[in-house]
């Protein structure tokens, strides 16, 4: 990270390439997150309710407390690390501070909300399915925005590096 803080990313093409490869990997994670969501349910409240509360028509059981706890345990850690890493990378960009604050806040809020949404549908009220859908969409949008902002910044730095080499 010191490469970003000290401005050495201008002179260090390797670190830029490594961060871009990391972001490509995270782009695949982002894509698989969406695919997993749509494999289990869609953007209708009925599908979210059926997934968490079970469905007699589809012969599915409600999600168990233990199963949801296990998934949440892993997700809370992994999403926390992912969001921390992406927001940290974004903080080192040249984008306006206000934009950085909004994107960071929305990403953390949406990650926590997305995880809480399933619990709310399962154990509080089925109408939280709307909240779950909105949280998922906001999470996907905010992660995509983080990826795009950091990628644009790194590409700009790379272009500046290449143009300085030709001068």
The reply to whether 24 falls in a domain is no
Work out the average pLDDT over 135-141: 96
Provide the CA 133 distance to its chain's centre, in angstroms: 15
8 Å CB contact between 53 and 62: yes
37-46 per-position pLDDT tens digit = 999 999 999 9
Q: Give the least confident one: 43-57, 120-134, 148-162.
A: 148-162
Cα 149 to Cα 113, 155, 158: the distances in Å are 22, 10, 14
In a domain, 28, yes or no: no
Domain that holds residue 158: 33-166
Over residues 72-106, the pLDDT tens digits come to 999 999 999 999 999 999 988 888 999 899 999 99
| Domain presence at residue 38 | yes
The pLDDT of residue 161 is 73
Q: Are residues 13 and 161 in contact, defined by beta-carbon separation less than 8 angstroms?
A: yes
Q: Is residue 45 part of a domain?
A: yes
The answer to which of 11-20, 34-43, 57-66 has the lowest mean pLDDT is 11-20
| Helix and strand element counts for the chain (H, E) | 6, 0
Residue 10 lies in a domain: no
Of 31, 52, 56, nearest in space to 126 by CA? 52
**What whole-number distance in Å separates Cα of residue 23 and Cα of residue 14?**
14
11 part of a folded domain = no
Q: Is residue 39 part of a domain?
A: yes
Domain count, the chain: 1
């Amino acid at each position: 990270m010191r490469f970003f803080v000290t401005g050495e990313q201008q002179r260090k093409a390797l670190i830029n390439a490594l961060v871009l490869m990391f972001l490509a990997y995270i782009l695949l994670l982002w894509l698989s997150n969406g695919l997993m969501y749509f494999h289990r349910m869609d953007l209708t409240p009925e599908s979210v309710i059926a997934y968490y509360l079970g469905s007699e028509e589809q012969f599915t059981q409600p999600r168990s407390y233990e199963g949801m706890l296990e998934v949440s345990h892993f997700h809370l850690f992994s999403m926390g690390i992912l969001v921390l890493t992406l927001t940290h990378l974004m903080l080192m960009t040249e984008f306006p501070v206000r934009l950085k604050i909004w994107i960071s806040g929305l990403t953390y809020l949406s990650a926590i909300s997305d995880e809480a949404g399933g619990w709310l549908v399962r154990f509080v009220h089925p109408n939280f399915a709307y909240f779950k859908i909105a949280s998922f969409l906001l999470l996907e949008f905010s992660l995509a925005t983080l990826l795009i902002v950091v990628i644009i910044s790194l590409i700009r730095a790379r272009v500046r590096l290449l143009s300085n080499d030709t001068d």
